[in-house]
Amino acid sequence: MNKKLIRFDWAVKKLLRNKANFGVLEGFLSELLFDDIRIEKILESEGNQETEDDKFNRVDILTQNSKNELIVVEIQNTYEIDFFHRMAYGASKALTENLLLGQAYSEIKKVISINIVYFDLGQGYDYVYKGSTNFFGLHQNDTLTLSEKQKTAFFKDKVSDIFPEFYIIKVNKFNDIAKDNLDEWIYFLKNSEVKDEFKAKGLKQAGEVLDFMRLPQDDQFSYNRYLDYLHYKASEIFSLKSEAEDSVRIDERQKIQTEIVEKLILKGFENPIIADLTGLTTDKIEEIRNNLAKK
């Protein structure tokens, strides 16, 4: 039987920072980046901190791989209109905070920003996006490349290898049909489940490490509290959305009523007759009459 597992976002916050469990995160990163990723260490990031106002909406983890690259994994559960801006900020912050005082700019580490979002970010039909920096000639339409000397000095092949690289996984856009190893991981991210036939790197270990029944009792309590919070947050967002839609409907209805009253006023009807026709009070009709006179 396919086994229900702990959500990846909670696991990143609690379990996957343990060196013994690096294989899970390494497997995910290897499938996404089409590379054999080995995590050297977990670096300090906001997601490491336990604070009173920690509301679980965002989870992040900063790792350094065997190539001396920085990999930021950020998970966002609820909608943020400026999330693109936060991606840019997070990558820049990781880049600058890991350049030591006095180091040459050539020592800047490559930053790979991986963003797992559980809402529809931007407009697009795909569920996995990649962004990188390239420079194109405005007149010759050529691509700016590194010189041979720069390639040797920096151990880079392309200009884009120097600049931050971004990945976005829009989990809720995935249709649950796993066509390759990366899809198997996204299926897990969406459903917290690993099917028996899945072969992607790290998923077998995830099936063992993230088994809820293997958690200590305190962690089981913490995880259930986390799920309760996510349900609460989802209900809160639904309520706010419903209230906003109701407000729009009320505004539209009032606008229509006002237009009807204005037409009746222009046709010469008196306030009591308009009140009888529309159900509005004579005071409200008088207010509309006064506003109409000012136009």
Divide the 295 residues of the chain into consecutive groups of 10 and give the mean pLDDT of each group: 78 85 93 92 61 51 89 88 92 89 89 94 94 96 95 93 96 95 96 92 91 80 81 73 78 88 88 86 90 85
Cβ neighbours around 150 below 10 Å, total: 14
Task: Specify whether 156 is located in the same domain as 104.
Answer: yes
| Structural domain span for residue 275 | 249-294
Q: Are strands 193-194 and 128-131 parallel, antiparallel or unpaired?
A: unpaired
Task: Specify whether 27 is located in the same domain as 157.
Answer: yes
Task: Specify whether 200 is located in the same domain as 139.
Answer: yes
Task: Specify whether 159 is located in the same domain as 254.
Answer: no
Task: Specify whether 146 is located in the same domain as 195.
Answer: yes
The per-residue pLDDT for 33 is 94
The per-residue pLDDT for 52 is 37
* 70 contacts 94 by C-beta, under 8 angstroms: yes
Task: Specify whether 179 is located in the same domain as 274.
Answer: no
Task: Specify whether 8 is located in the same domain as 149.
Answer: yes
Task: Specify whether 188 is located in the same domain as 283.
Answer: no
Task: Specify whether 175 is located in the same domain as 288.
Answer: no
Q: How many residues does the chain have?
A: 295
Separation in Å, CA 184 to CA 34, 37, 192, 193, 245: 14, 18, 11, 10, 37
Q: Are strands 39-43 and 128-131 parallel, antiparallel or unpaired?
A: unpaired
What is the tally of structural domains in the chain?
2
**Domain annotation covers residue 222:** no
| Sequence-ordered list of residues with C-beta below 8 angstroms from that of 160, at least 6 positions apart, any chain | 132, 133, 134
**Domain annotation covers residue 182:** yes
Q: Give dist(CA 139, CA 234) in Å, integer.
A: 50
Which residue shows structure tokens 């222009």? 266
**Domain annotation covers residue 240:** no
**Domain annotation covers residue 233:** no
**Domain annotation covers residue 153:** yes
Task: Specify whether 140 is located in the same domain as 255.
Answer: no
Cβ neighbours around 226 below 10 Å, total: 17
